[in-house]
Structure 1
Amino acid sequence: MSDGVYVKGFVEDVPIVFTADTVASKTVISSKVFKSVNQGRQPALEKSSCLIGAGGTTIQECGKAKFTLKLGPLEITSEAIIADIEDEALLGYDVLKGREHGAADILLSKNKIVLDGVEIPCFQVGKNDKTRRVVVADDLNTPGQSEMIIDVYVSRKEEDDFDHEAEYLVEPSEHLAERYKLAMASTLVNINQATTCKVRVLNPFREEVSLKQDAEIGKAEKIERIVNVIAEQENTRETENQAQVGRVETRSNKHDGDMQLPFEPSTEEKVPRHLHDLFSKTIQGRSEKEKQAIAGLFGKYSSTFSTDELDIGLTNLIEHSIDTGDAKPIKQRPRRVPLAFANEEKQAIEDRLKKGLSKKARHLVQVP
């Protein structure tokens, strides 16, 4: 439905929604609605004058006849033109001008039209109606480190029952991550397909999160035109899982499982002394298995780190070659230092050589 004022009613025995159009001089019924009228109640059509649209274009018409129109509680007989229009029916000025009581009063603030002394309910469709609240349909708990398909309600309006294109894009609300520590995937839904809609929420943390019924978690905005729809698909690796909740594979899950590490886990006592401070900072907030894995990592690659301020990396360069697999060996250029630090670098090398470094190291360092 486009923006406008609408009235629920009937043409003969067919329920329709009239579009109140004060600009239209004549009431017009779509040919589709006319074909839906029981043949026994279809009036014979007469030739009518040429209809001109708002843009000056000619509208294809089938003829005119008198119909029984029911507008809310008001029933009248009026002439209407049958034509190929997008709306089900246009309620023109010929009806809205009224009879004994004068022209109709359209009271948008009260959502009603007063015609011939009768109050007719109406509803409005406008840009402000496009954004809807999305709330949880029932109490639920989202387990830690899991994703879940949940039922939600998208707020509805009276005119939604007559909307043939009720597609809405559901997105997380601004406070979802802050208040509930959850994430939600954007989802395209049709609010007229079922009472509730389904969306996916993700709990990336270990703690369980509870959601109460009617908790607002998102917003829905109407999509004017749908190009395509992404079909729902479960995790392809979980071929046997038909449950509502699917586990999320995270780094913590991998460490808790049987993941093969390129080194053996170790203990804090075996961490080299020059890496104790770094190890203490790294293991904060980690599980016991993660601490053992980090200890093993530091143990295997301890020579990568300088042992003291005099360690310039020559020992590691000579004794531990870089493993490049099937690729060619890596050739490193001789180490150079700025002239301002040449004396300090030279002194450090000489001190290191005095402590037993092989002569081979002399050719790996060039000091200007």
Structure 2
Amino acid sequence: MATQKQQGNKLEEGPTVGKRATAGGDGRTPAYALRPPHYALTDMTEKVNTSLVTQGWVGDKPCQVTVDTGAYVTEVRLDIAAGWPERQPNPDFSLQTVSGGSLPILNEVLLTLTLGRQPITMWVFVANITDELILGLDILRAYDASVDIGRQTLRLAEEEVSLWSPGVGPRPSSLLVAKDLVIPARSEGIVMARMENHLGVENGLVEQIPQAHPPEGIYVARTLVQDCQEVPVRVMNVTHKNQKLRRGSPLAHCEPVTLVALPEMRQPPAPGLTPKLADGTTAAKPHLSPEEFQELEDLVSEYADIFAQDNEDYGRTNKVYHRIDTGDARPIRQPLRVPLAKQAEGIYKLSLSWIIVQTRLRTNSFKCVHKVIIK
């Protein structure tokens, strides 16, 4: 089984490091040897570490995650795996380094890793590795994740998590005015600003300088920008006089962004699916695998004519009959049922009618008696 190793931005074929392991005594199916990190653990000087890392959480503890597309499985260091449910690993599995050395598997633990806002619960191997946690191809494939080495981002679900080189973490930068510029009164404009240092990630958020006093009446808009030498900054002058921004003067503050939530990209419905049917299949998508969702779409599309197109399209049928067997029991006629909300109102009206009738009766009786006495 040939593997690939990364050199710069190119991928080229490397030596064969995977081999079939010998079956254990319990008769389980033989498994392929699994390749851990793409660098040699026996001699770190043989290869320059070109992996990318990001900040994650194992439970409620921060953890530096190494994203390694050359690793077939996910591995965790012994101290990070402490306290999580564990089990004995499959004896047929073995770990091998690029240099051909063997790496013993100490245990297997079930832990929850959070990248961005995405929690991942998984069984991972425990080994004596230098990194805290190595994210391998098994998790990347299971969660349909993708790594963009050029942009240094990890696409996971509807989020992009920033990656960076080990030892070069994200850091904020001040933005300085690139050249002299005058902002007219009661207006806004785009000012080119120069970064004092690189952010270490692809994106940054431009904000007002914290704990500083910008020119009176000058406000900076919050903007998402890419990490480069000069970035555009939207500035507004709310005063009644022109404001001059001098070259090299502090303008704004740029904070590195390590997580970007992507807008949901809705795929066009399959041919033959109405918008109502497409909404129904989309609602079931989170609970299905990609293959099951495709089968559902094909099934609904094939029999789309038997589904209601809207709330008025249910119709009637004489294909099905329904009969309730009551035996020899006679039909029971019940009085009209009054909803609970209307019962109090009905009692009130009945009481009021009874009072009116009684009053009229008493009044008429008094009149009759009165007339008799007068006569």
Q: TM-score, normalised by structure 2?
A: 0.31
